[in-house]
Structure 1
Amino acid sequence: MSLQLPIWRAADGSVVSCTEKVKVMTENLQELQQVAQDAFEDAILMGCDEQQVRAFLVEMMQGLDNPYQS
């Protein structure tokens, strides 16, 4: 599956236009997708319920902390 990445925006709505920043985001998210896909497939092969694994992955992403928030 190929990721359809959005145009990245800053909190003020401006476009993140730095080529290097966008490249790093793309690489990080492609790597994250592959790790998540591998974990998902392993869970299915081990007999875990697909919907439970999907729900957990969503919950895990929603629980990420922003260490830069004031």
Structure 2
Amino acid sequence: MSTLWKRPDGSIVACTEKIKVLRENLEELRQMAQDAFEDALLMECDESQIRAVFQDVIAQLNNPYNPPSD
């Protein structure tokens, strides 16, 4: 899967090193999520609940570079 990364202003991130780091980070995240998913399934957890919990975890990530305004 090839993702076209964009900046907040809509311009394209073209730096090959940045794209490489993003790709590596996503692959690590994908593998960790796959392992956790399989563990939960082996422990007889409901698949739809696992997916919902994973989505909730992602939705709750904080952006430390864009703190909320007062």
TM-score relative to the length of structure 2:
0.92
Give the gaps of 5 or more residues in structure 2: none
* Secondary structure in structure 2 of the residue aligned to 1:67: coil
**19, 22, 39: which one aligns with 1:22:** 19
Query: Which structure's relative contact order is higher, taking Cα pairs within 8 Å and 6+ residues apart?
Result: 1
Please name the residue that 1:57 is paired with. 54
Displacement after TM superposition at 1:6 (Å): 1.7
Alpha-carbon distance between aligned partners in 1 of 2:31 and 2:51, rounded to the nearest angstrom: 15
1:2-28 CA-partner distances (Å, limit 9, x unpaired): xx2320000000000000000000000
Please name the residue that 2:34 is paired with. 37
- The percentage of aligned residue pairs carrying the same residue is 55
Q: How many equivalent residue pairs?
A: 67
TM-score relative to the length of structure 1:
0.92
Give the gaps of 5 or more residues in structure 1: none
Displacement after TM superposition at 1:53 (Å): 0.4
Q: Alpha carbon RMSD of aligned pairs, Å?
A: 0.8
Please name the residue that 2:44 is paired with. 47
